[in-house]
Amino acid sequence: MNDTITMRAVSQDAIGGPEVLKEVRLPRPKPGLGEVLVRVRAAGLNPTDWKHRGLPGLFLGEPPFVLGWDASGVVEAVGLGVTLFAPGDEVFGMVPYPYGVGTHAEYVTGPARAFAAKPASIDHVQAGALPLAALTAWQALVDTARVTAGQRVLVHAAAGGVGHLAVQIAKAHGAEVIATASAPKHDFLRSLGADEVHDYRTTDLAEAVRGVDVVLDSRGSEQALPGLRSLRRGGTLVSLRIDPGNPALLAEADRLGVRATVMVVEDDHAGMAGIAALAADGRLRAEIAGTFDLADAARAHALGETGHTTGKLVLTVD
């Protein structure tokens, strides 16, 4: 008799469009040394999900694989050596990027310290939307750029998943925030605390924004060079997408006397604890652009790929 316990998951057997995503049944994982098994209640989507789904040669190799790095849920079981959590605890976090993938399923395992206790004041949808994007913003601004009160921070693509959380994290650390987005999103960004907002399509930012301490660039090379020119001497640009060996960028940074660096998000218990504290206090909240049942992951991917959503898309798991 086959006594394997199975679970629902969204998998793909080929690289391609949203149509390659299929609901399947897979063996339920078991927690290993230092790991927890989490029953997923909500799992955020991020641009890296549709990039891995549709582009060959990225970090995960050839399919089949289950995507997803964000998770909020309930600890089902713990592996040997885990002391932070016990079965029944509500947690949220990001499994290790990129190889700890697999949260778009009913259950996922990950290192206990990739998670933090979910604040009681937020629901699983809100908690599931936060981890990867909020950790990216936290590690860029707090750990890499070391933002402090009174500094001026320029956030590009500020209405996006990472951007709108970066605005709130910078404000929570006492910074003055300058944000870029299309004009229809300006009121939304002001509601998050942005002090100054510019339409990147109509404004010469290198001229309009000068002397900032930190630039967060999530768009890539088209904004990296102008971003450098907005910095004061000694300032820092943190990019999430540029080629770290880009000779023109590095040469310009050296000429201007500024720092240009590329960052990839990492699982981070301390960062998740900081994010949890801000969320519990109401100082950090994800804008939810839409929720989809796990079985509707393909529709969620198609919407996310348009690039026109504000905030985060979330898969819910009953």
- Domains of the chain (ranges, CATH numbers): 6-130+286-316 (3.90.180.10), 133-262 (3.90.180.10)
Which of these, 220, 149, 150, 156, lies nearest to 185 by C-alpha position? 156
Residue 220 to residue 9: CA distance in whole angstroms: 32
Residues 122, 126, 131, CA angle at the centre, nearest 5°? Answer: 110
The token pair at 261 is: 């660096």
Which of these, 3, 41, 65, 224, lies nearest to 125 by C-alpha position? 41
| DSSP secondary structure string for all residues of 202-258 | T--HHHHS-SEEEEEE-S-HHHHHHHHHHEEEEEEEEESSS-TT-HHHHHHHHHHT-
Which of these, 232, 238, 208, lies nearest to 220 by C-alpha position? 238
Residue 150 to residue 66: CA distance in whole angstroms: 43
Residue 24 to residue 176: CA distance in whole angstroms: 47
- Using only C-alpha atoms, the chain has a radius of gyration, in whole angstroms, of 20
Residue 160 to residue 180: CA distance in whole angstroms: 10
pLDDT value at residue 304: 96
pLDDT value at residue 13: 97
For residue 28, give the H/E element and its range. none
Q: Tell me if residue 80 falls in helix, strand or coil.
A: coil
pLDDT of the chain, 318 residues: tens digit per residue: 456 899 999 999 999 999 999 999 999 999 999 999 999 999 999 999 999 999 998 999 999 999 999 999 999 999 999 999 999 999 999 999 999 999 999 999 999 999 999 999 999 999 999 999 999 999 999 999 999 999 999 999 999 999 999 999 999 999 999 999 999 999 999 999 999 999 988 887 878 889 999 999 887 655 667 778 899 999 999 988 756 557 777 888 899 999 998 899 999 999 999 999 999 999 999 999 999 999 999 999 999 999 889 999 999 998
pLDDT value at residue 220: 60
Residue 229 to residue 279: CA distance in whole angstroms: 33
Burial class of residue 220, CB neighbours in 10 A (0-12, 13-18, 19+): middle
Burial class of residue 255, CB neighbours in 10 A (0-12, 13-18, 19+): exposed
